[in-house]
């Protein structure tokens, strides 16, 4: 799957070289940053009002919506002013946003602010402090049930944790 700057999403079959389908997303409030899930046709986007919108590509149904997720700090201003509209890949990423490999969960974070979303039940998942303290700078899912994150204040405390419980999965 890929998309262009006009939010036209296409899925191609690589072995046959044929396009399977094409959709155009309607983005009514604009979008700072957006991406597609790796396997399921779901996109996520940040509006200029810092709303998180997760929607299905086919039909545009909103799967999850959270208003005012992030409060801008003074130190954010230069980075936000330099940001280019999504989905351009020529810009820096303001938020860390990752889907679990099975597209069951979405985690979005920036500095001390984070949210987990269960995409099957369409509700926010409470993230324990052990996860919240490690996803604001950089993180990655290491399977559907593990997440690796960097503790920015204490890098030696970075860890691989069970997701979404947050207990240590090392050792």
State pTM to two decimals. Answer: 0.81
54 is a domain residue: yes
Averaging pLDDT over each range in 25-34, 70-79, 80-89, 107-116, which range is the top one? 107-116
Per-residue CA distances from 121 to 7, 9, 125, 166, 170 (Å): 26, 25, 10, 20, 29
Beta strands in the chain (DSSP E): 2-3, 8-13, 18-24, 33-36, 42-46, 52-56, 62-66, 96-99, 105-110, 113-118, 123-125, 139-141, 146-149, 159-162
Report pLDDT for 68.
84
Is 157 within the bounds of a domain?
no
pLDDT at 11: 78
In a domain, 26, yes or no: yes
SS3 162: strand
Question: pLDDT at position 135, please?
Answer: 95
| Domain assignment present for 113 | no
Q: Is residue 68 part of a domain?
A: yes
Instruction: Give the span between the Cα atoms of 108 and 69, in whole angstroms.
Output: 10
With 60 as the cut, is the pLDDT of residue 86 above it?
A: no
Q: 14-73, pLDDT tens digit by residue?
A: 899 998 878 777 666 666 677 777 765 666 666 667 788 888 877 778 889 898 888 888
Instruction: Answer yes or no: is 110 within a domain.
Output: no
Mean pLDDT within 85-109: 78
Q: How confident is the model at residue 95 (pLDDT cuts 50, 70, 90)?
A: confident
Determine the pLDDT at residue 94. Answer: 80
Instruction: Give the count of domains, the chain.
Output: 1
Domain assignment of residue 148, yes or no: no
The CATH number of the domain holding residue 85 is 2.40.10
Compute, in degrees rounded to 10, the torsion defined by CA atoms 52, 57, 58, 59: 30
For residue 48, the enclosing domain spans: 2-93
- Cβ(133)–Cβ(151) under 8 Å? yes
Residue 140 inside a domain? The answer is: no
CA–chain centroid gap for 60, Å, is: 17
Phi-psi region of 170 (alpha: psi -120 to 50; beta: other; left: phi over 0): beta
């Amino acid at each position: 799957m890929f998309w262009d700057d006009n939010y036209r999403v296409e899925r191609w079959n690589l072995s046959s070289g044929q396009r399977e389908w094409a959709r155009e997303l309607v983005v009514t409030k604009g979008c700072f940053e957006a991406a597609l899930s790796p396997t399921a046709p779901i996109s996520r986007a940040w509006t200029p009002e810092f709303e998180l919108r997760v929607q299905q590509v086919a039909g545009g149904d909103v799967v999850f919506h959270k208003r005012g997720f992030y409060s801008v700090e003074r130190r954010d201003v230069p980075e936000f002013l330099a940001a280019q509209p999504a989905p351009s890949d020529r810009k820096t990423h303001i938020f860390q946003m990752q889907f679990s490999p099975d597209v069951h969960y979405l985690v979005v974070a920036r500095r001390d602010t984070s949210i987990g979303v269960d995409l099957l039940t369409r509700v926010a998942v409470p993230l324990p402090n052990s996860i919240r303290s490690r996803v604001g700078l950089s993180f990655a899912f290491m399977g559907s049930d593990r997440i690796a994150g960097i503790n920015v204040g204490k890098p030696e405390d970075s860890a691989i944790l069970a997701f979404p419980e947050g207990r240590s999965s090392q050792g």
